[in-house]
């Protein structure tokens, strides 16, 4: 009896102490789809912030990438979402802002560190309000197995002809799968395929803006030609690529079984940890030697504030810190492959990440063609592009038919194309 009273008393004091602590500390919960980054947030980013701001506790609670949008929308509607929301670029977040779920952040101090291009992913169509702090962009290109290239005496391809010559040489040698990509999960074909090689054909921003304005069509040569290249890819993918998933492709490449991996820069940290061979990267090969190269440098992650948060001041403090160069430095070096969008100068240490970011100097940057405005209607152009890219690689649909199908779908709801 005696012991249980003591335990009871102890419990009461613990509760009191805990509630006293709760009253002082504002707790911020971050919603995110980056479950791969959990340890970096927990061990590096959050401790750095909490050391500077003792009164604020931060918790990073990611969900699976494919489910993030659905989970987040349900949580926001139910009022159970966290205080800080990691923002997908463009319409998904714009819809949240329009529905009053994301707060307008145009007037926080840190916003001045970003260019209007960086902010475009998270601003209203007229640019009057910005509702997420731009956090990072990802760059597309190809990562290759340097050891395999040396072994076969191949050099980095700069033109399309050299690219296919290299693929042929790897295939003829037979020791490596020429290119690691599957079509089971569909999105790689569109994201790492179509939107990776495409900007070289439609000349980056020039073509993308013309498409949005209705001056170019998806049936134009510039938009069909990437499909024509991808129709040839099928021969170079591994056996049974139709059922190969995204993690399968990652593993095939990092186990050293494939020579080339159509990539996004977000792969860098994972590949560095997994692969025990030297890796290099090259930007999407241009059609003819000497052509200007274009890359997809896609605004990918922003971070905003739940309008219904109970700690708006603490949340703004946190977002201002995310906009600072201190955060950019930690983030860029802990997560090589996610390139900060702020104007602050950032030193990158990882050689592969340096290679990717060096393309910003020699090539023209653009973002993925389907993301701004064009995926607002039904049928959804992004999802259709996944489907068309897969069909073209498998040879189930001709490049021209794919372009026509997408154009018809877009024209069915998008006024500038009608």
Partner 1 sequence: MATPSKSGFKWHIVVFLAPAVIVYTAVMIYPLFATLRLSFYSEVEQERIWVGLQNFATLFGDAIWSEQFWNALGNNAWFFLIHMLVQNPIGIALAAILSSPKLRFSAFYRSAIFIPTILSFVIVGFAWKLILSPIWGIAPDMLDAIGLKFLYQPWLGKEEYALTTLSLVSVWQFVGIPMMLIYAALLSIPDEILEAGECDGITGLSAFFKIKLPLILPSIGIISVLTFVANFNAFDLIYAAQGALAGPDFSTDILGTFMYRTFFGFQLQLGDPHMGSTIASAMFGIILIGVCIYLFGIQRRLRNYQF
C-beta of 106 vs 184, nearer to partner 1: 184
Nearest-approach distance from CB 109 to partner 1, in angstroms: 30
- Closer residue to partner 1, CB minimum distance, 267 or 397: 397
- Count of residues touching partner 1 (by CB under 8 A): 45
123, 254, 342, 375: which one contacts partner 1 (CB under 8 A)? Answer: 375
Residue 31 found at the interface with partner 1 (CB under 8 A): no
The answer to whether residue 248 forms part of the interface with partner 1 (CB under 8 A) is: yes
Min dist. Cβ of residue 250 to partner 1 (A): 11
Determine if 398 is a binding residue for partner 1 (CB under 8 A). no
Subset of residues 221 to 240 that bind partner 1, contact rule: CB under 8 A? 238-240
Site string for partner 1, 303-322 (x = CB under 8 A): --------------------
Q: Which stretch binds partner 1 (CB under 8 A): 70-78, 122-130, 267-275, 296-304?
A: 70-78
Whether residue 213 contacts residue 416, with contact meaning beta carbons closer than 8 Å, is answered with yes
Rule CB under 8 A: say whether 214 interacts with partner 1.
Answer: no
For partner 1, the closer of residues 248 and 267 by Cβ is 248
Q: Quick check: 219 binds partner 1 (CB under 8 A)?
A: no
73 binds partner 1 (CB under 8 A): yes
Which residues are near partner 1 by CB under 8 A?
66, 69-70, 73-74, 90-92, 95, 98-99, 182-187, 238-245, 248, 251-252, 370-371, 375, 378-383, 386-387, 390-391, 394, 396, 409, 412
């Amino acid at each position: 009896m005696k012991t249980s009273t003591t335990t009871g008393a102890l419990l009461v004091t613990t509760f009191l102490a805990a509630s006293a602590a709760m009253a002082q500390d504002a707790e911020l919960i971050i919603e995110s789809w980056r479950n791969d980054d959990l340890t970096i947030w927990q061990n590096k980013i959050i401790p750095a912030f909490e050391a500077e701001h003792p009164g604020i506790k931060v918790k990073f609670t990611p969900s699976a990438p494919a489910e993030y949008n659905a989970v987040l929308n349900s949580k926001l509607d139910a009022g159970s979402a966290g205080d800080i929301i990691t923002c997908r670029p463009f319409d998904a977040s714009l819809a949240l802002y329009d529905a009053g779920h994301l707060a307008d952040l145009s007037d926080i101090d840190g916003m001045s560190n970003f260019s209007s291009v960086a902010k475009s992913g998270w601003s209203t169509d007229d640019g009057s309000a910005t509702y997420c702090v731009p956090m990072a962009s990802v760059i597309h290109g190809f990562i290759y197995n340097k050891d395999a290239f040396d072994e076969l005496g191949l050099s980095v391809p700069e033109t399309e002809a050299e690219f296919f010559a290299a693929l042929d040489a790897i295939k003829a040698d037979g020791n490596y799968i020429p290119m690691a990509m599957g079509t089971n999960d569909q999105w790689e074909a569109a994201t790492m395929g179509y939107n990776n090689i495409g900007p070289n054909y439609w000349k980056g921003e020039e073509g993308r803006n013309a498409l949005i304005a209705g001056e170019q069509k998806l049936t134009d040569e510039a938009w069909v030609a990437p499909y024509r290249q991808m129709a040839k890819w099928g021969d170079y993918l591994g056996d049974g690529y139709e059922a190969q998933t995204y993690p399968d492709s990652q593993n095939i490449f990092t186990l050293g079984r494939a020579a080339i991996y159509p990539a996004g820069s977000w792969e860098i940290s994972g590949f560095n940890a997994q692969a025990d061979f030297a890796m290099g990267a090259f930007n999407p090969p241009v059609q003819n030697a000497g052509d200007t190269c274009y890359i997809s440098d896609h605004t990918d992650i922003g971070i905003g504030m739940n309008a219904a948060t109970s700690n708006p001041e603490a949340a703004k403090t946190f977002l201002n810190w995310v906009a600072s160069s201190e955060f950019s430095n930690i983030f860029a070096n802990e997560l090589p492959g996610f390139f900060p969008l702020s104007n602050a100068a950032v030193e990158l240490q990882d050689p592969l990440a340096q290679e990717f970011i060096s393309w910003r100097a020699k090539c023209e940057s653009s973002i993925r063609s389907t993301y701004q405005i064009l995926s607002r209607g039904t049928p959804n152009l992004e999802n259709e592009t996944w489907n068309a890219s897969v069909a073209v690689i498998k040879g189930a649909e001709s490049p021209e038919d794919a372009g026509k199908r997408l154009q018809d779908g877009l024209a069915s709801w998008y006024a500038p194309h009608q």
